[in-house]
Amino acid sequence: MPEYALQAVGLTRSYGAVRAVDGVSFALPKGGSLGIVGESGSGKTTTARIVVGLEQADAGEVLVGGARRASAVRGRARRLARAREVQMVFQDPLQSLDPRTSVESVLRETLGLHFPGRDHTPRVRELLDQVGLGPRAADARPGGLSGGQRQRVAIARALAVEPAVLVLDEAVAALDVSVQAQILNLLADIREQTAVGYLFITHDLGAVRCVTDDVIVMRQGRVVEAGSTSEVLGSPRHPYTRLLMDSVPRPGWDPARIAEARRTL
């Protein structure tokens, strides 16, 4: 029996008549990396938000390390313990980082909250090092950093709490292609060094190829295909997966043919 960091079982969530997430199940092995791909509106973000606890499912459950993840908890200690289960990194870290707080203070604040009474200096250094930020970045404010550097800070802050799972929602989508590659390499390195597991949400099949072992493909709230990333992207079975792959622009690409395929799907 493989040990799972995270399991989703039959997650369902509707907004009015829209079934944003419709019976979604998946399992992320400890230290594994699972991609969720699909077009805009397929339910990826809603699934992520349910896993993190920012959204409540109408049905289904989320398990972390085999134990049911409570939808809401009372008390500071339990809230912090719950936060250590799953951390999230968003597309735009500027929205989650206080522009006036230095990088070092951001990390110290998080460490102080989760691990009070310790000397956090070595851990701050270690985290900066882990995300490839030199000691000079410690004094910088998020507003003075590049997009890639800010995303490194957001990753460091998430790692500071030593979560079982990092949920990365379009975490490289806003970055230039070369910076995307750096962050994807960084994520691969971090996974090798730590036991953290990734739930990697993206519309970008190239990114999924770089950082995931397994992938699920979502369409209209449902999982239409699931398997190892190399299998699913190497020989996609579902017409929708093939369509996603064909939709990636490349030489000889014909948008009219894609539009026609989409109509008949």
Ligand X SMILES: Nc1ncnc2c1ncn2[C@@H]1O[C@H](COP(=O)(O)OP(=O)(O)OP(=O)(O)O)[C@@H](O)[C@H]1O
Closer to ligand X at the Cβ: 51 or 158?
51
Sheet holding 222-228, edge to edge: 86-89, 165-169, 197-202, 33-37, 214-219, 222-228
Output the smallest distance, CB 168 to ligand X, in A: 13
Contact call for residue 42 and ligand X (CB under 6 A): yes
| Spatial CA neighbour of 4 closest among 195, 215, 224, 229 | 195
Work out whether 202 is an interface residue with ligand X (CB under 6 A).
no
Does 43 interact with ligand X (rule: CB under 6 A)?
A: yes
Rounded to whole angstroms, the Cα distance separating 167 from 132 reads 20
- d(CA 19, CA 204) in angstroms, rounded, equals 23
Instruction: Determine which residue in the list 40, 95, 178, 264 makes contact with ligand X, applying CB under 6 A.
Output: 40
How far is it, in rounded angstroms, from Cα 258 to Cα 46?
A: 27
Residues 46-105 that bind ligand X (CB under 6 A): 46
Residue 133 vs 240, nearer CB to ligand X: 240
Closest approach, Cβ 100 to ligand X, in A, equals 29
Among 45, 130, 151, 229, the residue binding ligand X under the rule CB under 6 A is 45
Strand partners, 68: 63
Q: Among residues 20 and 155, whose Cβ is nearest to ligand X?
A: 20
229 is an interface residue for ligand X by CB under 6 A: no
What is the rounded distance in angstroms from the CA atom of residue 56 to the CA atom of residue 53? Answer: 7
- Under DSSP, the state recorded for 135 is G
Among 7, 32, 35, 44, binds ligand X (CB under 6 A): 44
Query: Under rule CB under 6 A, how many of the chain's residues touch ligand X?
Result: 12
35 binds ligand X (CB under 6 A): no
Give Cβ neighbours of residue 47 (< 8 Å, ≥ 6 apart). Answer: 8, 11, 21, 24, 36, 201, 218
| Residue range at the interface with ligand X (CB under 6 A); choices 13-21, 59-67, 96-104, 223-231 | 13-21
Binding site for ligand X (CB under 6 A): 15, 18, 20, 38, 40-46, 203
